[in-house]
Chains A and B, each alone.
Chain A
Amino acid sequence: MRPLAVRVTRRTVAWTAALLAIAGGTGVLYLLRTHGLLDTGPHVSGALALQQLAGDSAQPLARMAVAFGGAGLAAGIAVGALTRLSAEAAALIAAALCWLVEVAAGAGGDAIANSITLWPRVGPQLDRQAPWVAAGLVLFSTYLAVRGTRAALRPGPVPSAALRSQPRPNVATTRPHAPGARLES
């Protein structure tokens, strides 16, 4: 068992990295926004809230998949490698984080672009597709990444030659006991 401090540190690092990876999804989406090859699929409204004045805040699904699929993979690798949380729980938490980040970014983008206060812009974010689509992509990709990371880093079976070469462990074994034999407590 690792010391508590080590576990807390690993979890903090893992979830900080996951949060930054998810936020980075928006950054990657911005870099991809003019990439013609990924101009495929229905446009997802509110994907780049700060681009609303320029008229390209809606982005095609393929770009969203690359940006937030990648974000979920990076988040899943970090969480899978540094924590023992189940893949299902990790994916749900990452998706919730993503949804919150997207809602906050959308409201902030609205407020900045229109020189208005933040709070009234939070409600309308629920009507935008981007937080839901991004959260769905992160849910799926984080789940896969956590499972894949654990499978890759799991200790493998011990080769028999290696076992033979090692001294026998000092283990207690049980033997079938005779009926009526006295059991020691």
Chain B
Amino acid sequence: MPALPALALSGPTHSRPRSIGLRVLAAGIVVAWLTLGGLGLYAHGRDYSIYRGFPVPTHSASIPFGQVLTKRFNSSALHQERSYTIYVPPGYRAAVARGARFPVLYLLHSPRGKPQGYFTAGALAVRMDELIAAHRIRPYLVVLPDGRTGRASNDTEWANANQGRYESYVLDTVGAVDARWATLPDRGARVIGGLSMGAYGAANITLRHPEVFSGFQSWSGYFVQTPTDAFTGASRAALRANSPLLYVGGLKGVLRRHPVHAYLYQGRLDRNSNRAEFLRFGAALRRAGVPATVAFVPGGHNWRVWRDELPLMLRVANHWFGAGNGR
């Protein structure tokens, strides 16, 4: 006969009072970890957004350093008060008092970027100070127009298109800078560069206004415009008029009168830029009489590349300032 199952004791549970202390301790550990982890994630996101993960740029204490200032001005192109950020080299005031005037490098940011990115992720001011202190470059001003629209999309293409007259805004900035600072108001003392969309803008603005700029640097740029973003719905004529690769061939005469320099580079692993278009544009520039340097560099489409190439680009601009293209 099978054994009958014993009935279980089913009375009230006999236990010592649950330890409130242990539960509080457990909750405290979890909350402390969540707080610490949350702070770490916040710091991670903030540091990436500002510095792209790079260490905070710091100066060697032994070298003189310049100033980074933001100035406002009225842009007639945008019918707004706008701003630019300017790097002023060390010794600027004393030199101006002696009558000195300075060349200017203009740098345009990308749609997701802002002028400060050149200083935080690119360490622009620190590199300028170092190169000036080492006498690798002459002191010059660097101006970064703020091309943000204040809307969700900042994709202006630095062109006169749907988002506003941003090409004209850059020219407004040149006028405002020349009016306020001790610049050399001559095309030979103006070079423009930019990264990604800013690189496209630098090429397009220089070739459309070679009387204003004597050289451009394209950091991971493109050279054919498409009917997207700022050019959505644009006519074929408008697209062609803003596609440097397509119109540079017709500029031989203009570029003879106003010779320009060009330096184009692109990361070998850049998935955002068209390698064939890049090479074709370099060849088209040379055919148009522009002494263009075309280079592939290690890396992709990011601040690792732009930060590494920045000192070279500053030296190239300095070289052009001394090249006598001021006609």
Given known pairs A81-B26, A153-B22, A169-B12, the reply for A27 and B7 (CB within 8 Å) is: no
Which of A36-44, A110-118, A123-131 faces chain B?
A110-118
Among residues of B, the one whose C-beta sits closest to the C-beta of A27 is: B40
Q: Taking the nearest CB of chain A, how far is it from the CB of B306, in angstroms?
A: 10
Q: CB distance A166 to B14 under 8 Å?
A: yes
* Residue from the list A31, A115, A149 in contact with B112, Cβ < 8 A: A115
Q: Residue B73 at the A interface, CB < 8 A?
A: no
Q: CB distance B26 to A149 under 8 Å?
A: yes
Which of A2-10, A46-54, A89-97 faces chain B?
A46-54
Q: Which of A161-185 contact B (CB under 8 A)?
A: 162-163, 166, 169-174, 177, 183
Q: CB distance B44 to A50 under 8 Å?
A: yes
Q: Residue A62 at the B interface, CB < 8 A?
A: no
Q: CB distance B23 to A81 under 8 Å?
A: yes
Q: Residue A152 at the B interface, CB < 8 A?
A: yes
CA distance A73 to B30 in the complex (A): 8
Q: Residue A71 at the B interface, CB < 8 A?
A: yes
Residues of B near A174 (CB, < 8 A) are 4, 6-7
Which of B186-194, B277-285, B296-304 faces chain A?
B296-304
Q: CB distance B33 to A23 under 8 Å?
A: no
CA distance A123 to B30 in the complex (A): 33
Chain A: interface secondary structure? Answer: helix
Q: CB distance B301 to A21 under 8 Å?
A: no
Q: CB distance B30 to A115 under 8 Å?
A: no
Given known pairs A74-B29, A114-B300, the reply for A24 and B7 (CB within 8 Å) is: no
Q: Residue A45 at the B interface, CB < 8 A?
A: no
Among residues of B, the one whose C-beta sits closest to the C-beta of A172 is: B7
Q: Residue B165 at the A interface, CB < 8 A?
A: no
Q: CB distance A71 to B9 under 8 Å?
A: no
Among residues of A, the one whose C-beta sits closest to the C-beta of B1 is: A179
Residues of A near B48 (CB, < 8 A) are 50, 112
Q: Which of B181-228 contact A (CB under 8 A)?
A: 196
Residues of B near A56 (CB, < 8 A) are 53
Q: CB distance B10 to A50 under 8 Å?
A: no
CA distance A25 to B33 in the complex (A): 9
Q: CB distance B15 to A171 under 8 Å?
A: no
Residues of A near B271 (CB, < 8 A) are 114, 116
Given known pairs A27-B38, A54-B55, A74-B34, the reply for A156 and B15 (CB within 8 Å) is: yes
Q: Residue A135 at the B interface, CB < 8 A?
A: no
Q: Residue A59 at the B interface, CB < 8 A?
A: no
Q: Taking the nearest CB of chain B, how far is it from the CB of A78, in angstroms?
A: 5
Q: Interface residues of A, CB < 8 Å — how many?
A: 50
Given known pairs A24-B40, A51-B53, the reply for A114 and B301 (CB within 8 Å) is: yes
* Residue from the list A20, A28, A53, A78 in contact with B54, Cβ < 8 A: A53
Q: Residue A17 at the B interface, CB < 8 A?
A: yes
Q: CB distance B19 to A25 under 8 Å?
A: no
Q: Residue A70 at the B interface, CB < 8 A?
A: yes
Q: CB distance A28 to B37 under 8 Å?
A: yes
Residues of A near B54 (CB, < 8 A) are 53-54
Residues of A near B23 (CB, < 8 A) are 81, 153
Among residues of A, the one whose C-beta sits closest to the C-beta of B300 is: A114
Residues of B near A23 (CB, < 8 A) are 37, 41
Among residues of B, the one whose C-beta sits closest to the C-beta of A117 is: B271
Among residues of B, the one whose C-beta sits closest to the C-beta of A55 is: B304
Among residues of B, the one whose C-beta sits closest to the C-beta of A115 is: B301
Q: Taking the nearest CB of chain A, how far is it from the CB of B123, in angstroms?
A: 12
Among residues of A, the one whose C-beta sits closest to the C-beta of B16 is: A156
Among residues of A, the one whose C-beta sits closest to the C-beta of B36 is: A28
CA distance A161 to B37 in the complex (A): 46
Q: Residue B150 at the A interface, CB < 8 A?
A: no
Residues of A near B10 (CB, < 8 A) are 171-172
Q: Taking the nearest CB of chain B, how far is it from the CB of A5, in angstroms?
A: 21
Among residues of A, the one whose C-beta sits closest to the C-beta of B39 is: A27
Which residues of B are at the interface with A, using a C-beta cutoff of 8 A?
A: 4, 6-7, 9-16, 18-19, 22-23, 26-27, 29-30, 33-34, 36-44, 48, 52-55, 112, 196, 271-272, 300-304, 307
The 6 A-B pairs with the shortest beta carbon distances in the complex, nearest first, are A24-B37, A27-B40, A169-B11, A155-B15, A27-B41, A74-B33
